[in-house]
Chain A
Amino acid sequence: MSSVIHFQNVSHKFKNHTILNDVTLQIKDTEKVSIIGPAACGKSVLIKIACGLIVPDQGTVSLFDTPLNQCSETELTDLRKDIGMLFQSGALFDFMSTADNVAFPLRQQAILSEDIIAKKVSERLDAVGLGSSSALPISALSGGMQRRVGIARAGIALPKLVIYDEPSAGLDPVTTSKIYDLLSNDQKEHLNTVIVISSDIESLQKFTDRMIMPYHGDIIYDGSSDKIFDCKNPIVHQFIRGETQGPL
């Protein structure tokens, strides 16, 4: 399996706060990985560094076996065409309708005709339960609906790597299950690499094979999703059980 993301001794600080401290990490092709951890522990920054949106202070980051520090902005733009991403804030284009947001990655590829794009968008919106909202502007959607539009947009162009930052935030338990089923089916069908950032341990355990937990700059857990409850690290132990007593 080839490497999709490779961190080699990566360090990064934000003001005086250490986000990553000499981290070496590899995510391989077709892996389903979740990144967990308490708020502000650097999960989203880790992913943004992986995509070249943030340049780390030290170390080498490779995306699809291409070292990002040797890439020009044009090469980076080309690399990102193989990535779909749901941002934590949604990051939907507020000057477009719901359907246009979902269609955007396909239109930028300029491969498919408008008829086929419309069909794919309609199918995708149906899959996230927003079939009837395609014409609505983004401002007319609730937070949960916007998140589902973001999920639809992230996966529509069948990218090699899909990143979901908090896919279940603001969603009810039923919709959350449906969304994880959709992500799971997509992954099985297209065999792409999926990274999910979330604190919904139960859903992540069902969906992903591997869990990574950064904390204060270090990776304190990197292993099987099934075995995380056996982890002896007190921080991991407290976090996954949601206990109020402990080092967190």
Chain B
Amino acid sequence: MQNSKTQNTTRTISDIGLLWMETCRHLTKKRKSNITTATLEQMFNIGNRSVIFLLITVGFIGMVMIYQSCFQLQRITGDLSMIGPNFIKIVIFEIGPSITGLMLATRVGAGIAAELAAMKVTEQIDALRMTGVSPVEYLILPRFTASVVMTMMLTILTISIAIVTGGISAYIWFDINPRLFFRLDQVESWDVITAVLKAFFYGQIIPIVSSFFGFRAQNGSAGVGDATTSAVIGSSFGIILCNFFISAIILILRDIIT
């Protein structure tokens, strides 16, 4: 029983890897069909439709983080002069990309999985295949490209909003001067590289994992529900694992190089 579960998990991970490779292969392939319109449409779905949701979430997270950090620090040292630069550093390399990724996994991942799963159970994906169209090229590639681009753009936006809301809360509740707060002296180029890498990979994980579960759906509407749940769990889990590995690799590289 345990062995069979392990085998299933290993197979799922390897199949997701294969789907990722297949999508990357289509990225470089010369195409007859024009996917630009579909990509722009997906950029709107993934990006524009997630903006408000993300900004509100990240805005509040920024405020809560600053409030809690200042509150605790005030009790221990009473010195809040370094709270701003360190907060900005953490938001850039950790909170910004990861919260964006996890939020997008719930909103975008669920959407992609539900849409593709509904197409799968109604044989629309088979119909695409029978028209000589690759479902990977027609359905996944636009979502993949759009997700990578929009996750990176949204990450920049969420980082900015978290920093701004954090700065405003620090000023209102703890009277920290914005000039003291908005300092970039703790931010290193490694932090920016980490953020870019994380956003880049999260942007790939969400559509690939979600599409995989969508394509694998069966058993009608119950299957659509299962695919959506699996997509959200799988994408979120993938993002958390990816976060760990990128952070670890960057730390090791940083130690080697500097």
Contacts and interface: CB of A to CB of B under 8 A. Distances in A.
B9 interface: no
Interface in A80-112: 80-81, 83-85, 87-89, 91-94, 104-105, 107-108, 110
A164 B123 CA distance: 14
A-side interface mostly: mixed
A77 interface: yes
Interface string A61-89: 00000000000011001101101110111
B132 A93 contact: no
Contacts of A151: none
> Quick one: which of B32, B33, B124 has the most chain A CB within 10 A?
B124
B98 to A, nearest CB: 32
Interface residues of A, number: 24
A91 B132 contact: no
Nearest to B118: A94
A105 B133 CA distance: 9
A39 interface: no
Contacts of B33: 107-108, 110
A108 B32 contact: yes
Contacts of B130: 51, 53, 80, 83-85
Interface string B217-232: 0000000000000000
A178 to B, nearest CB: 24
A80 B131 CA distance: 6
A48 B125 CA distance: 13
Contacts of A84: 130
Given A110-B32, A110-B33, A105 B122 contact: no
Contacts of B11: none
Nearest to A165: B123
Contacts of B133: 77, 108
B32 A105 contact: no
Contacts of A78: 132
- What are the nearest 7 A-B pairs in CB distance? A81-B132, A91-B127, A91-B123, A85-B130, A110-B32, A80-B132, A87-B123
